[in-house]
Amino acid sequence: MKGHLSIVGIGPSGVKWMCPPATTAIKNAQVVCGYRTYIDLIKGILDGKQEIIQTGMTKEKERCKKAIEQALSGKKVALICSGDPGIYALSGLVFEILKKMGVSSERLKVEVIPGIPALSACSSLLGAPLVHDFSVISLSDLLTPWQEIEKRIEAAAAADFVIVFYNPMSKKRRRHLPRALELVACRREGTTPVGIVTRAMRDGQEVHVTTLSKITERGPERWNIGMQSLLIVGNSKSFVWDGKIITPRGYEV
């Protein structure tokens, strides 16, 4: 029997912000795989009869392989991801593993179900910072050398992109965000708006609007920035109005 693997985006905070096809895929699954925190976010739609496979942080490869194995055995499997499966999530890893295994769509049906990504959730809370061209950069160097990340930051800053920083700081990684902001500050005015969102759409949500000069002078610690935070740095035309960050698209008003 041909199995079915759904790679499901659950959005920023689980059930409330999921699209209907994502909810349906999870409810219809015989096996649900995911990071423990994400499983907790969708407990409300699990029926108690499904097999749940949970793994911890940094066990992404193990999680994907288990989901594929279950699907190849003929089961309906939902592999859940926070945000959108195709943005810093697991859809790419699943396809890489399938390619290495030589498993095509003839043997296993795979679908990717989109979800609201963190950058969209955070943008909505900050106003309208991403209305024009923007660049998205993760500051985690677990899978990408820091030298490459610095080059990307410099290029994005030079091109005047609004910049979205994922994974800005962790308990061990404290210097990357200050260095990233330092690189941006070489190309942007100190008055450039910076939005900081932590735990978007979840309990304990925090939203702050500041400037590039203030965050570089006072340090990121002041805003409680961590792995559940996301920063958006405006471009040369971004401005703050009524507590919101707006990046003009260029319309005449």
**Structural tokens at position 185:** 């500050």
- Topology, domain 3-116: Cobalt-precorrin-4 Transmethylase; domain 1 (3.40.1010)
**CATH superfamily entry for domain 119-246:** Tetrapyrrole methylase, C-terminal domain (3.30.950.10)
The rounded percent of the chain whose pLDDT value lies above 90 is 89
The strand pair at 76-81 and 3-9 is best described as parallel
pTM of this structure:
0.93
pLDDT of residue 220: 81
What is the pLDDT, as a whole number, of residue 102?
Answer: 96
Task: Give the pLDDT confidence of 142-197 residue by residue, as tens digits.
Answer: 999 999 999 999 999 999 999 999 999 998 888 999 999 999 999 999 999 999 99
Hey, what amino acid is at 22?
A
9: Cβ contacts below 8 Å, ≥ 6 apart: 18, 19, 22, 80, 81, 82, 83, 84, 85, 86, 89, 113, 114, 115, 116, 117
- Six-digit token string for 31: 């096996």
Mean pLDDT taken over the chain: 95
Q: Which pLDDT score is estimated for 1?
A: 62
pLDDT digits (tens, 9 = 90+) for 193-229: 999 999 999 999 999 999 999 999 988 888 889 999 9
Length of the chain: 253
What residue spans define the domains of the chain? 3-116, 119-246
